[in-house]
Amino acid sequence: AKDYELRQYEAAKWVSTVIRGESQKEALRQGFWKLFQYIQGKNEKEMKIDMTVPVTCLVRSGCTDFKISFFVPFEHQDSPPVPSDSEVFIEERKAAAVFVRSFGGFASPEKYTEEAEALARILRNRGQSFHEEFFYTAGYDSPFKLFNRHNEVWYFKK
């Protein structure tokens, strides 16, 4: 469709952390730095790992816990180094069909919510079945990239 796409993602490992009781913006900041320390060597192998995109944030309706995640690079998918920080963990996400809406600019939590609401409206209008109780934000750019930024919101298909 012109205003969203349906993607099929294979099962994959992500390194994640949950930040509780903060605003989404603050949770993203804190979570990003925890995960960045992991890829900079704060893991059992003291191994540096390449930064990947997207950086995702799980947003649950009415909840102030946010799960921030980095995709584990393909060369480490089989055995990612174990995190040294007890609040950082490796998770395996199952294969899934995901409805995706893309947008540009600097994405604030309010903009992500606005785009997620727009995607949910479109999906409902088209009779698509999806998990409405949560969505993921996905950011693809460094904060230093000023133009042609790429952001997404994801709903999982039922």
Side-chain half-sphere of 9: how many Cα atoms within 13 Å? Answer: 19
CA 56 to chain centre: 1
Q: pLDDT per residue over 87-122, tens digit each?
A: 999 999 999 999 999 999 999 999 999 999 999 999
* Structure confidence at residue 141 (pLDDT): 95
Three-state DSSP class for residue 46: coil
- Vertex 47: Cα angle to 93 and 138 (nearest 5): 35
- Would you mind telling me the total number of residues written for the chain in this entry? 158
- Which residues have CB under 8 Å from 120's CB, separation 6+? 130, 132, 135, 155
CATH of residue 126: 3.20.80.10
* Structure confidence at residue 86 (pLDDT): 98
* Structure confidence at residue 143 (pLDDT): 82
Three-state DSSP class for residue 118: helix
Domain that holds residue 21: 5-156
With cut-offs at 50, 70 and 90, classify the pLDDT of residue 75.
very high
* Structure confidence at residue 31 (pLDDT): 97
* Distance linking the first and last C-alpha atoms of the chain: 18
Query: What's the domain count of the chain?
Result: 1
Q: Closest Cα to residue 15, out of 29, 40, 35, 42?
A: 35
With cut-offs at 50, 70 and 90, classify the pLDDT of residue 7.
very high
Q: Judge whether residue 1 has pLDDT over 80.
A: no
Q: pLDDT per residue over 26-74, tens digit each?
A: 999 999 999 999 999 999 999 999 999 999 999 999 899 999 999 999 9
